[in-house]
Amino acid sequence: MTQLETAIRGGTVVTAEGMIRADVGIAGGRVVALAESLPDAARVIEADGLWVMPGGVDSHCHIEEAQPGGGANEESFVTASRAAFAGGTTSVVCFIPQWKGGGLLERLADVEARAAHAMLDHAFHQIITDPTDAVLERELPQVVAKGIRSLKAFLTYDSMHLDDGQFLKVLVAAKRHGCLVTVHCENYAAINWRIEALLAAGMTAPKYHAWARPPVVEREATHRAIALAEVVDQPIQIFHVSCVEAADEIARAQARGVKVWGETCPQYFTLTAGDMDRPGFEGAKFMCSPAPREAEEHARVWEMIRRGVLDIVSSDHCAFSFEGTAGKRQNGDASFAVIPNGIPGLTARLPLVFSEGVAKGRISPEHFVRLTATNPAKLMGLWPRKGGIHIGADADIALWDPTRRTRLTNALMQHAIDYTPYEGIEVTGWPLRLLRRGEVVMADGEVSAEPGSGRYLPRAPYPMVAPRGVVPFGFDAANA
Ligand code: DUC
Ligand code: ZN
Ligand code: ZN
């Protein structure tokens, strides 16, 4: 047998398929042995009473994303790595922006330079906001050649939204290049119309963020995104599904055989529209898009998770501090329409899914692993290297105490942000230790990785995002 560098002994290994009592042997940063009992290794980690689970894969995080007006998200690749490790996550997929009127390649170079400081392993989605022929024909092939195999489309926001014609162009380009398309689904015109009316009526407080973008605008855009993807025969993932109305659209399409996947986030089963109505300006701390819904929606989201309609839980970590020049209050107590959208969640994601899901008996431990590690790794083309504990996989392993109770505080998040929307929530289940490629990068909350030790994860073509070969009248307009 290969000489073991590390043996994790005495724990219960939890994977997407099952739970078994097994020791895990690690060499060269990979899992090389799974056995009832392993011989001594250079280092032995005792895991009696603990669950040995794959490190989390968070396939939707905004990290150090540069802004057109200068500056970048407060969360740097270093602080985000610390936050992720503190919560049991070892890999992320984050974003390369495109600014309207600009190209892809200059932004790619900038992101690569920033990500060189990461401790996390990381891959990228390419955001497309301006799908000109030059961008799609000359630049996109170079982006794909770098191993970037998912494109992100926004159907709302002034600075990012695509109309139907532009969205179709992105779908076609993705189909030609073997990429997944991920989509932010909300109706642009309807939201802007409601924002104008709310502001004109003097309804400016943070809680009106939810009033501006009710579930129907999410449902409509989800339906339209799926329909257009179906016309092109291009697989898509619907990002951050907040409500059953939108999830129902996904379920219907899945039943027709369409290749569409649904992601949700912890904010949609823990936060509510009522949180945005907290006294003073506090509500801004809970503002993200889509907006958190009424409390009754939480059980419906869980039902969609249980059914497998929503098969990934990401954080959509898109963090702005409350105070400070780039924060939620950068414009003072201004209207909801100018408060930056997004909340931090990289650290809290796994404990919240575990606590609300496994500890409350809504899902099995195996389902937890699927939602938070295996499914994102598969859908993003990172499997079998990431997302599981099997021979040959990177030894990204979290040791969980499934019974430990923890009250969430901002200090525990270890991010660069001055608040957490989850302050005070008590969770059951917590990661005590984390290995990234066999190296202990977190022990009892102490993060020890070196900046720059994270690896970029280029993605090769993968069959999961291949088109079905079903197009209207058998005529493939994307390849005519
Ligand atoms: N959509 C995202 O995907 N992330 C942050 C903000 C948003 O609207
Ligand atoms: Zn979005
Ligand atoms: Zn996002």
Residue nearest to atom 7 of ligand 1 (CA): 289
| 149-195 pLDDT per residue, tens | 999 999 999 999 999 999 999 999 999 999 999 999 999 999 999 99
Give pLDDT, residue 2: 73
Residue 119 Cα to ligand 2 middle (Å): 25
Our CA dihedral for 407, 311, 384, 381, rounded to 10 degrees, sits at -110
CB 367 within 8 A of CB 48: no
Q: What's the rounded Cα separation, in Å, for the pair 320 and 416? A: 9
CATH of domain 55-381: 3.20.20.140
Residue 165 Cα to ligand 3 middle (Å): 23
Ligand nearest, relative to CA of residue 154? 2
- pLDDT of 332 over the 90 cut: no
Give pLDDT, residue 67: 86
- Among 58, 59, 61, 62, the mutation site with the greatest number of ligand 1 atoms within 8 A of its Cβ is 62
Task: Name the band, by pLDDT with cuts 50, 70 and 90, for residue 241.
Answer: very high
3-state class percentages of the chain: helix first, strand second, coil last, to nearest 5: 35, 20, 45
Helices 215-232 and 164-177, packing angle to 10 deg: 50
Residue ranges per structural domain of the chain: 55-381
Task: Name the band, by pLDDT with cuts 50, 70 and 90, for residue 72.
Answer: confident
Q: What's the rounded Cα separation, in Å, for the pair 148 and 373? A: 19
Three-state SS at 289: coil
Give pLDDT, residue 70: 80
Q: What's the rounded Cα separation, in Å, for the pair 31 and 191? A: 49
Q: What's the rounded Cα separation, in Å, for the pair 160 and 184? A: 10
Residue 172 Cα to ligand 3 middle (Å): 22
What percentage of the chain reaches a pLDDT higher than 90? 95
Task: Name the band, by pLDDT with cuts 50, 70 and 90, for residue 415.
Answer: very high
Residue positions counted in the chain: 480
One-letter amino acid for residue 31 of the chain:
V
- pLDDT of 69 over the 90 cut: no
| 103-159 pLDDT per residue, tens | 999 999 999 999 999 999 999 999 999 999 999 999 999 999 999 999 999 999 999
CB 198 within 8 A of CB 204: yes
Residue nearest to atom 1 of ligand 1 (CA): 289
Give pLDDT, residue 1: 65
Residue 51 Cα to ligand 2 middle (Å): 33
Q: What is the mean pLDDT of the chain?
A: 97
Three-state SS at 474: helix
Residue nearest to atom 8 of ligand 1 (CA): 289
The 8-class DSSP code of residue 284 comes to G
DSSP track, 217-264 = HHHHHHHHHHHHHHHHT--EEE----SHHHHHHHHHHHHTT--EEEEE
Q: Is the CB of 289 under 6 A from ligand 1?
A: yes
Q: Return left, alpha or beta for 226; rule: phi > 0 is left, psi -120 to 50 is alpha, else beta.
A: alpha
Ligand nearest, relative to CA of residue 92? 3
Residue 151 Cα to ligand 1 middle (Å): 14
Q: Is the CB of 239 under 6 A from ligand 1?
A: yes
Q: From the CB of residue 168, how many other CB atoms can be counted at a distance below 10 Å?
A: 19
Ligand nearest, relative to CA of residue 316? 3
DSSP track, 120-168 = SEEEEEEE-S---HHIIIIIHHHHHHTT--EEEEESS-TTTB--HHHHH
> Could you tell me the sign of the dihedral formed by the alpha carbons of 212, 215, 219, 220, in that order?
negative
Q: What is the largest CA-CA distance in the chain?
A: 73
Closest by CA position to 422, among listed 265, 314, 276, 271: 271
- Ligand 1 atom at minimum distance from 289 CA: 8
CB 292 within 8 A of CB 276: yes
Mean pLDDT throughout 26-43?
A: 95
- Ligand 1 atom at minimum distance from 341 CA: 6
Provide CB contacts within 8 A for 221, sequence distance 6+. Answer: 155, 156, 185, 186, 187
One-letter amino acid for residue 351 of the chain:
P
- Among 154, 191, 218, 336, the mutation site with the greatest number of ligand 1 atoms within 8 A of its Cβ is 154
Residue 290 Cα to ligand 1 middle (Å): 8
Our CA dihedral for 149, 132, 114, 323, rounded to 10 degrees, sits at -110
Identify which has the larger pLDDT, 330 or 12: 12
Residue 239 Cα to ligand 2 middle (Å): 6
Q: What's the rounded Cα separation, in Å, for the pair 303 and 353? A: 14
Q: From the CB of residue 474, how many other CB atoms can be counted at a distance below 10 Å?
A: 7
Q: What's the rounded Cα separation, in Å, for the pair 49 and 59? A: 29
- Among 58, 129, 341, 343, the mutation site with the greatest number of ligand 1 atoms within 8 A of its Cβ is 341
**Residues at Cβ < 5 Å from ligand 3 ion:** 316
Q: Is the CB of 318 under 6 A from ligand 1?
A: yes
Q: Is the CB of 316 under 6 A from ligand 1?
A: yes
| 384-411 pLDDT per residue, tens | 999 999 999 999 999 999 999 999 999 9
Residue 343 Cα to ligand 1 middle (Å): 9
Residue 191 Cα to ligand 2 middle (Å): 14
- Ligand 1 atom at minimum distance from 316 CA: 4
Which two three-digit tokens encode residue 281? 């300006």
